[in-house]
Amino acid sequence: MTIQAVETQDKTIVAGLGEIKVSKDPSVVLTCLGLGSCVAVCAYDPVAKVGGMAHVVLPSSEGRAVKPSAKYADMAIPMLIAETQRHGALKTRLVVKLAGGAELSKAAGMDNAFKIGEKNQAAVKEVLSKENIKVAAEELGGNKGRTARMFVASGRVSVASAGSETKEL
C-alpha cells in the first residue's frame, strides 16, 4: 500500500527552536525550518503512523536547565520518545532520521569556540544509542542551512537546502 501525500492539502506544523511536535494526523507535515547548527530528530512509527520531530538547539542541559526543555539533545530525545508513545507509537518500532548540524561559516566571527553543529550531531547520536535506537538515515554536517519535513501519512522525510534539490532521507 502506498499513501501519496497530496502536498497542497497538507497542514504544516512547525517545530520551532527547542520544540517537539508529534502528530498522527495523515494530512500533517511536521517541519523544522532553516536548520543551521540545530538538528531535527525525526521519529516515525510506521505501524501506528505516528510521527514526531524535535528541533534540538544545544547538546547538553548539564548544569543549566532549570526545567525540562527540548532545546537540549539529552532532554529532547526522551521527551520525543515519550510523546510519540503517548500518541500510540511503540519505541521499538520508531524509525529515526536526522538532519542539520551544519557549520555555516568558517569565518572568524563564526568560529564558534564550541563547534555547536558537530557537538549537536554527536550528542543526538549518543542519546539515541543509549536509548537503543538506530539512525535509519541522516543528512548532517556541511555548511548549508536545511529545512526538514516529515509527512505523517507515510513517514517520508525530505530535506531541502537553499539552492539545491530536495533530498529524500
Partner 1 sequence: MVEQGIEMTEVEQLAWAGLVSKGIGNSISGLSQMVGQDIKATSLNPRVVAIKDIPDLIGGAEALTVGVYLKVTGDASGHMVLVYKPQAAYELLDMLLGLTPGTTHEINEMGESALGEMGNIMGSFFLNSLADSTGMVFMPSPPAVMMDMAGAILNVALAEIMMETDDACIVEAMFGTADRQVNGTFLVMPSLELLDALRERWRMQ
Looking only at residues 98 through 127 of this chain, which bind partner 1 when binding is defined by CB under 8 A? 102, 104-105, 107-110, 112, 116
Q: Is residue 37 at the binding interface for partner 1, with CB under 8 A as the rule?
A: yes
Given the residues 29, 30, 38, 41, the one annotated as active site: 38
Q: Is residue 166 at the binding interface for partner 1, with CB under 8 A as the rule?
A: no
Q: What is the 3-state secondary structure (H, E, C) of the chain?
A: CCCCCCHHHCEEEECCCCCEEEECCCCEEEEEEEECCCEEEEEEECCCCEEEEEEECECCCCCCCCCCCCCEHHHHHHHHHHHHHHCCCCHHHCEEEEEECCCCCCCHHHCCCCCHHHHHHHHHHHHHHHCCCCEEEEEECCCCCEEEEEECCCCEEEEEECCCCCEEC
Number of residues that bind partner 1 (CB under 8 A): 33
Binder to partner 1 among 5, 10, 13, 19 (CB under 8 A)? Answer: 19
**Residue span binding partner 1 (CB under 8 A) among the ranges 30-38, 78-86, 124-132, 133-141:** 30-38
Kindly list the catalytic residues.
38
Q: Interface with partner 1 by CB under 8 A: which residues?
A: 16-19, 33-38, 57-58, 63-66, 69, 71, 102, 104-105, 107-110, 112, 116, 144-147, 162-163
